[in-house]
Amino acid sequence: MNDNDTDFLSPGPRRAFLAQVGAGTAALLGTPALLGATAMQGGPDDKWVDNLKGKHRQYFDAMSVDSGFVLAYAMNWMDTMKSTYKVTDKDLNAVVGLRHFSIPIAYTDEIWAKYKLGEFAKVNDPKTNAPATRNIYLNPQQGDLMFPSMAINLLQPRGVTFVVCNIAHTVISGMLGQRAGVPADQAKAEFAKGMIPGFLLVPSGVLAVNRAQEKGKCTYCYAG
């Protein structure tokens, strides 16, 4: 954790930030068009749960970016399961659930740059020590990550499933759109287009936890 993270987590700044988020959430969800937009189209879709075929399954639940530790936890679980029990990646299902303030992890560099996700999430670029204008967890440069193999582009080929809370997606895109002078519906569409290929929007992060445990028989890991 860097000094900026410490400042952000201190009671004063965090309380003020949460108050701002709360006000933004109430305003956005109080708008009928956007309230409807938080619901996923086409009804319930548990296909991502049905695709969890591995013998061992674990859901990693993230509420903040927290230096990308949710990615490190998923990597660590898969690696230690393989070394300890002599299984393969095909025997394992790691699900990374991004909700609340963790969802910046889900977007491409273009969204990070335009909507200042590094500033929002308090993520600095190790190369500049300024708020990141690129997603350092996707196709990272040397020295970006504590563990190079926690990179999204290395976890996806191993079969890791990534799900993203649609409510957080709606609210945060609307808030940051407002800051950038972009209408909420346009910002949400741009965020959706700028989501990393293979990541899945789910109705809510807490619902995804329920479906993974109840239907997908996943164990649960709180990941920050």
**Cβ contact 174:23 at 8 Å:** no
User: What pLDDT, on a 0 to 100 scale, did the predictor assign at position 148?
Assistant: 97
| E runs forming strands in 105-197 | 161-165
State mean pLDDT over 53-79: 98
23 vs 105, residue with greater confidence:
105
CA distances (Å), origin 2, targets 10, 78, 110, 130, 165: 13, 27, 24, 12, 26
Percent of the chain with pLDDT over 90: 80
Give the best-scoring range by mean pLDDT among 7-11, 41-45, 218-222: 218-222
pLDDT over 90 (residue 5)? no
User: What pLDDT, on a 0 to 100 scale, did the predictor assign at position 176?
Assistant: 98
Domains in the chain, please, with CATH?
3-222 (3.40.1260.10)
CA distances (Å), origin 82, targets 12, 75, 156: 44, 11, 17
Grade residue 45 by pLDDT with cuts at 50, 70 and 90.
confident
- Tokens representing 200 are 């899945």
Calpha distance 196→8 (Å, rounded): 27
Taking only the tens place, the pLDDT of each residue in 92-130 is 999 999 999 999 999 999 999 999 999 999 999 999 999
**Cβ contact 70:102 at 8 Å:** yes
Mean pLDDT for all residues in the chain: 87
User: What pLDDT, on a 0 to 100 scale, did the predictor assign at position 19?
Assistant: 53
19 vs 117, residue with greater confidence:
117
**Cβ contact 19:13 at 8 Å:** no
**Cβ contact 213:106 at 8 Å:** no
CB atoms inside a 10 Å sphere around CB 224: 17
pLDDT over 80 (residue 9)? no
Considering the entire predicted model, what is its pTM? Answer: 0.84
